[in-house]
Structure 1
Amino acid sequence: MRAAAKASAVAKARHLLHRRLSSHKPPRLPLVSSPSLSKTLTHSPSSSSCAATLRRFSSDGISDLRDGVLLLSEKTSSIHIDGEREELRAAVSALADELLAVPDNQEIAGVLDSRSADALLRRSPNGFASIELLSRLKSRPLLALEVFNWRRKQVDAEIPMVPEEYAKAIALAGRAKNVDLAADLFSEAGAVGLLETSLYNALMTAYMYNGLIKKAVSIFEDLKGDHRCTPTIVTYNILLSIYGRSMLVDHMEAVLRTIDEAKLSRTLNTYNTVIAAYVTAWMWDQMESTFHAMDEGPIKPDVNTLLLMLRGYAHSCNLEKMERTYVLVKDQVNDRQVPVIRAMICAYCKSSHPERVQKIEALMKFMPEDEYRPWLNVLLIRVYAQEGLVEAMERFISEAFCRNTMVTTSGVMRSIISSYFQCNAVDRLAGFVKQAEYAGWRICRSLYHCKMVMYGKQNRLKEMHEVLDEMENCRYFPTKKTFLIMYKAYFTIGRRLEAQTVIGMMWKLGLGYPVDALPS
């Protein structure tokens, strides 16, 4: 009777799985949004970004799970000879390459049958080949899940399912943004008696990467209440990542104390996850103390640790330590760490480093063209304006106009004005003002006052008066400073009648007298 109930549960779970694979649902909106999103300066990104930024943290729960699963599989493997293991890996790799070449809408069962994948699975009855195949297909999680579904249909006494296969499939469902499928697979594994800690870890990870923080923590509580399973250091690493991504630092530190009280050894991922959380929360002192504790202990920092520290030093504008760390991981950063490069450029933009332009331009060489960020464009406009490099400033201004990037801060506009004023480029300033008005940039009275001053210095009085009309069109009416600019322009070139007329206008409007016009 028990066997019949068990078979019924499995059949029902398989039916649900088949339905979910055939009609993939769009991703759910996250229950708790990624904390990094609020720190983006566009940000927009993307993110991107945000979760995308944090996915580069070395505390990648899916990667941890993959490594743990493969390690466990090899421990129980009946393939003891290295040559035989490598031969099996090569066969799995060839099959994976062929499957990855299959178009999305093509049936993959025929490919698996034609390649005798069933025979390949029988060569490793402990699931090693199946797990290896799913790992190699992770770039296309929906394809990998179809392979898993095919694999379940091959189950017999010789090649039974193992928990690690379910764990891998649950993680893949999470990557495919299908948390309902992940939960169904978890339930199915429990129904057939394959529930282990690795499956809890996989479901926690699936929920975490889809922003379902409360559900992920709930699975951890279920694990603690399951007398058959015990949380491992991988479990706690995932929990650390969950709290770290949400900037729940107090909760994360409580988990660290639990790890120590349970006599579990901290791993490299433990330290990297904690450092990543402190970087996310902008807690620089705690970030450094964790790094030093790691450096002095048995677990030494790796490249990922240094990349996290580099990001932290960049965000905190600690240029000295940032540059020292950059030297250690320069090749890795220049090769593919675009977010870190952006953070370093931003740090130089905000600094008063005497060689900041040279440093920025050296880093910009490693920025792909498709990695444009509006906020970074605006920062670069301000840097080149402050340095008086008008041509370079105008290149970034033109790019901003072309990409419909808007400048909404008066500080950046004043920097642009000052740059034009210092090189006495009134015509270039006039052209910029027209474009800025059209593009909807932040227009301030200082733009027009600067034009008036520069026209006055060049004795272009007619154009100086025309600026008053431009101001009126933008609803900027003359102020005391406006009249003083006109008075000084006339007085300097000896046109005292016009200067006296300006004084009269000021008197009529109740704006007082210019200081040098008062009787001695």
Structure 2
Amino acid sequence: MFQNLSSHSLQPSSFSFTLHSSQYYTHSLTFTQPCLPLPNRSLRYRPMTRISCASTRPKRNPGPMPDKSEAEELVRVMMRNMNEKEPLLKTLNKYVKVVRTEHCFLLFEQLGKSDKWLQCLEVFRWMQKQRWYVADNGVYSKLISVMGKKGQTRMAMWLFSEMRNSGCRADTSVYNALITAHLHSRDKAKALDKAIGYFEKMKGIEWCKPSIVTYNILLRAFAQAQNVERVNALFKDLDESIISPDIYTYNGVMDAYGKNGMIREMESVLSRMKSNQCKPDIITFNLLIDSYGKKQEFNKMEQVFKSLLRSKERPTLPTFNSMIINYGKARLREKAEYVFQKMRDMGYTPSFITCESLILMYGFCDCVSRAREIFDGMVQSGKGMKVSTLNVMLDVYCMNGLPMEANMLFENAKGIGVIPNSSTYKLLYKAYTKANTKELLQKLLKNMDRDGIVPNKRFFLEALGAFGSLPASAESKVTHQAKNRVPSLQRVSASTTADVSRKQDSAKT
């Protein structure tokens, strides 16, 4: 397939990928005690005097940093111990002699990933009571970042005020975390206004000038909002400053434009990147391949892939996964299979995401039996099945008009070691509604009620998006059944009901 590809550049002008990028390595440092000669008697007691002083007036770094792997292992042990029988504070007190700031940072990350942001605050309060604790911008910056990711903007603002009350002076990293926290809020227009307000405030504070990280956060946010004018203004502001854009600047903006299907704007940033002598990396190649593939501009996608193979970079699994999916959406089965074979020939081992991409590709190409073969192979492999794989196979059945087969797989899910989640129910609810399968829908609603799946406003609106293709009579019947069968649906707010009614009216029109 790729032997006959054109070697011309990506853009109508002349852009070619000539990559000479350096590789980055992460070194793991292990701190050990130096081997010193035995000191004489007079010197032997001096270190003891210093230790005594340190114990009465602790310093911020009282000794060598522990090995990172050891710190991570301790945090893993603590996370396993944190359960209903042993609360968080009891666990912290159990390890009080060894836990320090670096362990708390790792705890913030792990608790944040588990949606336990309230427990992050418990750890913070516990830290403040320890003798080794010193108020530090880094701690507040980390906490503000965790709160922002969980949509807790008010809590992030409270931490910002708490930081200033503790005597700490906000620096660039704190403002960057605060900007990011606002950008995670639901009201994007208001969030962008807040973010640009903080940006202008930073420019007026000598010790808090915007960094390249600040620009990268704002550029990506405005590109995602498709605000080309603001992106150009930020790039101009960046050019006039002493700060130079880096690879993350261009990759972030191009990725945001590409995901919004704004190919021209993406290519404009690509040209700007080339003119600034910033060489593309594998992330650049992957986002271009994915963006062109989603717009089904396969000639450009294939040119980028060919340039990648000629470069010093190597493709990654996301490179192949993206091409397989996008060829599948265009029903180009042979090309998708060629990409998979190319991946195997280059020595790559398929991941579960690769297998999911193949299942979905065959689903788009009406090859349901082939998709099921891959799914069964994953089940028989003995490796832990993921709910995302189950959802992909169910989606294949539903998109090919096979609701009965989807229901059989769903009912057998626990038998193959998979517990359905809310996404599974949403997918099937929408498919059964669209297919007007009354019995399957009633059975699904009973299972939702049994498993405690309470559909919120978002679930209700997204699932009922299928009503646009239903006759009015069928639509009203399904809605009536849903409200009568599941008590939780009756607790949907009046505003939700009004939104659904408007959605149904627009669908009928």
Q: Give the TM-score taking structure 1 as reference length.
A: 0.50
Q: 1:171 offset after TM fit, Å?
A: 0.9
Q: 1:218 aligns with which of 194, 198, 208?
A: 194
The one-letter amino acid paired with 1:342 is: I
CA 330–110 in structure 1, closer or farther in 2 if over 3 Å, else same: same
Aligned-CA RMSD value: 4.3
Q: What does 1:369-384 align with in structure 2 at a 5 Å threshold? A: 371=356, 379-381=364-366
Structure 1, residues 223-282: CA drift from partner, whole Å, max 9, x if none?
523644332221121111211222222211211111112222112211111111221232
* Identity percentage of aligned residues: 20
Shift of residue 166 of structure 1? Answer: 0.6
1:323 aligns with 2:305: yes
- Aligned equivalent of 1:508: none
State the Cα deviation string for residues 465-492 of structure 1 (Å, max 9, x = none).
Answer: xxxxxxxxxxxxxxxxxxxxxxxxxxxx
What are the residue-to-residue correspondences of 1:105-184 with 2, within 5 Å? 105=84, 106-116=86-96, 120-121=99-100, 130-131=104-105, 133-135=107-109, 138-142=112-116, 145-146=120-121, 148-154=123-129, 159-184=133-158
8 Å Cα contact 1:243/1:249 also seen in 2: yes
Name the amino acid aligned to 1:161. Answer: A
The residue aligned with 2:177 is 202
User: Max radius of gyration: which structure?
Assistant: 1
Q: Does the C-alpha gap of structure 1 residues 405 and 234 become closer, same or farther in structure 2, counting only changes over 3 Å?
A: same
Hey, what's the Cα distance between the residues in 2 that align with 1:199 and 1:234? 12
Do the aligned partners of residues 101 and 366 (structure 1) sit closer, same or farther apart at CA in structure 2, a change above 3 Å counting? closer
- Is structure 2 residue 163 aligned with structure 1 residue 189? yes
Distance in 1, matches of 2:157 and 2:120, equals 14
**CA distance in structure 2 between the partners assigned to 1:142 and 1:391 by the alignment:** 42
Mapped pair 1:356 → 2:335: yes
Counterpart amino acid of residue 263 in structure 1: I
Shift of 1:147: 5.4
Judging changes above 3 Å, is the alpha-carbon distance between structure 1 residues 400 and 173 closer, same or farther for their aligned structure 2 residues? closer
Following superposition, the deviation at residue 311 of structure 1 comes to: 0.9
How much has 1:378 moved relative to structure 2? 5.7
Contact 1:167 1:198 in 2 (8 A): yes
In 2, Cα distance between equivalents of 1:185 and 1:394: 50
Shift in alpha-carbon separation, 1:190–1:376, aligned structure 2, 3 A: farther
Contact 2:282/2:315 (CA < 8 Å) preserved in 1?
no
Amino acid at match of 1:200: Y
Kindly provide the CA deviation profile for residues 13-58 of structure 1, in whole angstroms up to 9, marking residues without a partner as x.
xxxxxxxxxxxxxxxxxxxxxxxxxxxxxxxxxxxxxxxxxxxxxx
Gaps of 5+ in 2: 1-25, 27-58, 345-349, 375-392, 402-433, 438-509
Q: Mark the runs of 5 or more structure 1 residues left unpaired by the alignment.
A: 1-66, 68-76, 122-126, 385-389, 408-437, 442-520
**Residues 1:182 and 1:380: Cα distance change in structure 2 (over 3 Å):** same
Instruction: Find the aligned partners of 2:275 and 2:284 in 1 and give their Cα distance.
Output: 14
The 8 Å contact of residues 75 and 107 in structure 2, kept in 1 or not, is answered as yes
Specify which structure has the bigger relative contact order, considering alpha-carbon pairs within 8 angstroms and separated by 6 or more residues.
1
- Which amino acid counterpart does residue 337 of structure 2 have in structure 1? Q
The verdict on how the C-alpha distance between 1:137 and 1:295 changes in structure 2, with shifts beyond 3 A counting, is: farther
Q: For 1:248 and 1:185, locate their aligned partners in 2 and report how far apart those are by CA, in whole Å.
A: 30
Q: Retained in 2: the 8 A contact 1:141–1:175?
A: no
- 1:209 Cα deviation after fit: 2.9
2:397 corresponds to which of 400, 403, 414: 403
Map 1:292-311 onto structure 2 (within 5 A). 292-295=271-274, 297-311=276-290
Give the C-alpha shift of residue 102 in structure 1. Answer: 3.1
SS in 2 for 1:116: coil
> Is the Cα–Cα contact under 8 Å of residues 140 and 174 in structure 2 kept in the other structure?
yes
Deviation of 1:168 (Å)? 0.3
Partner of 1:288: 267
State yes or no: 1:346 paired with 2:329.
yes
Distance 1:377 1:160, change over 3 A: same
Against the structure 1 CA distance between its residues 225 and 295, is the aligned structure 2 distance closer, same or farther, given a 3 Å change threshold? closer
Selected match of 1:272 from 231, 238, 251: 251
Is the CA contact 1:197–1:223 (under 8 Å) kept in the aligned structure 2?
no
The CA deviation at 1:107 is 1.3
Question: How many residues of Structure 1 are paired with residues of Structure 2 in the alignment?
Answer: 313
Report the CA distance between 1:361 and its aligned residue.
6.0
- Deviation of the 1:368 alpha carbon: 4.4
Q: Check conservation: 2:224, 2:256, Cα contact below 8 A.
A: yes
